[in-house]
Structure 1
Amino acid sequence: MGVALKGNTRTNATKSEAKQLRRQGKVPGVVYGKTTDSLTVVLERKELVPLLRSHPNAVIDLNIEGVGKRPVLISGVQRDSLSQDVIHIDFHQINMNEPVKATVAVEIVGEAAGVKEGGILQVETAQLDVRCLPSDLPDSVQVDVSNLGIGENILVSDLKLPENVEVKTEAQDVVVTVLQPQKEVEETTADEPAAEAEPAAEEAAESKE
């Protein structure tokens, strides 16, 4: 089962109508599909925004009044450049019996051993591209970093996903790494000029002789 969301059809899909809807706390959108005509819809912002925060990549059971339920994935979100409020959303209607390409969030689990030693945890890949049946689409992929030391990393190829979920992200991409402590890096950088100055001083002394 997907995440439930209600919507209504729009009969007047103009810019002025869209602005009026936004003032009323609603978000205009479009549902696209390979085998169906596109459908303009409108949704309640108070219902849509929490869904975008908690399940942005989930299969959504979009219940459109007068049309019925349609299984969809979010394919695009348009936000205001200043306020970052959602001003438009695109849905892609899917067939539950056909594999889909989607993105899945990476969820970091545990505290890295390297972080306990002063290292800095850095996530390099926050989302994975996957291909699977809609019913097999995971909410997220957990990555346990408990045993990760300073200078170590976890690659996409190291992740364990269900057999029926195919990862499309490059296998050698780094998912998460633990960097050296910032203070240690700064001290190393500061020491380098002094080390380079020694040979120069020796050469100057030899030339005087």
Structure 2
Amino acid sequence: MEAALKAETRKSDTKSERKGLRAKGNIPAVVYGKKVSNTPIAINEKELTAILRTNPHAIIDMVMPDGSKQPVMINEIQRDPILRTILHVDFHQINMDEPVSTTVRLDFIGDAVGVQMGGILQIQHHEIEIRCLPKQIPNAIEVDVSGLEVGSSILVSDLKVGSSIEIKSMANDVLVTVLAPQKEEAAPDTAEEAEQKAEAKAEADANHPQETV
């Protein structure tokens, strides 16, 4: 297991109880799955934050209120729309011998040839969707961009993963590309430069008057 959490019993699911839990540094949550009925729980906010910071898609070894241990994954996180604080978490109990769908981070490595030529590296996706057995979920998938020239891209279909991992993201999705360098626009004339140009034009017009028919 990559992470661990201890679940505490929740006696009710009222607004006042949820508020009281958060005041004590706990987060209201629920865990459910084939081997676990829908069970309201509370978890430590600091421990959860640490997992979200390092690997939000980790398999979590959860100690249930009855003392049993269950492998779970985070299915959904509800946050305050303004403060972005965590309000509630849904945990899904999984079976280690059954494939699961999850999201994996992409690690972009190398220095693109196109960037050395003045191009701009633009990352389109930082994660992809995969499906595999829980124990085979990688912490991240490396994407080597060193061969990218200006105008070239790496697609989902270009990724190299083991046969045990099924990529669920669209094969033709662009993960990263190198854009051509943008041309710098000429800076506008200063007031002094504009005045000098106007005087030069007036002098040229005076020396070469237009012919009239």
> What's the TM-score once normalised by structure 2's chain length?
0.81
Tell whether the 8 Å contact from 1:119 to 1:180 is kept in structure 2 after alignment. Answer: yes
**Deviates further, 108-117 or 154-163:** 108-117
Q: How does 1:13-92 map to 2 (within 5 A)?
A: 13-92=13-92
Tell whether the 8 Å contact from 1:2 to 1:71 is kept in structure 2 after alignment. Answer: no
Give CA deviations for 1:30-54 in whole Å, capped at 9, x if unaligned: 1121343111111111111121111
1:162 aligned to 2:162? yes
1:131 aligned to 2:110? no
Alignment partner of 1:154: what SS?
strand
Give CA deviations for 1:128-168 in whole Å, capped at 9, x if unaligned: 11111111111111111112122111011110111101111
Q: Distance in 1 between matches of 2:18 and 2:141?
A: 36
Q: Following TM superposition, by how much is the alpha carbon of 1:64 offset from its aligned partner in structure 2, in angstroms?
A: 2.4
Q: Decide whether aligned partners of structure 1 residues 182 and 62 sit closer, same or farther in structure 2, where only a CA change above 3 A counts.
A: farther
Alignment partner of 2:114: what SS?
helix
Question: Gaps (5+ residues) in structure 2?
Answer: 187-213
Q: Counterpart in 1 of 2:7?
A: 7
Count of residues in correspondence between the two structures: 186
Q: Distance in 2 between matches of 1:23 and 1:94?
A: 30
Q: Counterpart in 2 of 1:96?
A: 96
Q: Decide whether aligned partners of structure 1 residues 183 and 63 sit closer, same or farther in structure 2, where only a CA change above 3 A counts.
A: farther
Q: Following TM superposition, by how much is the alpha carbon of 1:111 offset from its aligned partner in structure 2, in angstroms?
A: 2.3
* Higher alpha-carbon Rg: 2
> What's the TM-score once normalised by structure 1's chain length?
0.83
RMSD: 1.6
Tell whether the 8 Å contact from 2:57 to 2:73 is kept in structure 1 after alignment. Answer: yes
Q: Counterpart in 2 of 1:152?
A: 152
Counterpart of 1:177, as a letter, is T
Alignment partner of 1:182: what SS?
coil
Alignment identity in percent? 48
Q: Counterpart in 1 of 2:122?
A: 122
Tell whether the 8 Å contact from 1:33 to 1:93 is kept in structure 2 after alignment. Answer: yes
Counterpart of 1:55, as a letter, is N
Q: Counterpart in 2 of 1:204?
A: none
Q: Distance in 2 between matches of 1:183 and 1:42?
A: 56
Tell whether the 8 Å contact from 2:35 to 2:93 is kept in structure 1 after alignment. Answer: no
Q: Counterpart in 1 of 2:200?
A: none
Counterpart of 1:97, as a letter, is D
Q: Distance in 2 between matches of 1:50 and 1:119?
A: 37
Give CA deviations for 1:84-104 in whole Å, capped at 9, x if unaligned: 111111111100011111111
Q: Decide whether aligned partners of structure 1 residues 15 and 130 sit closer, same or farther in structure 2, where only a CA change above 3 A counts.
A: same
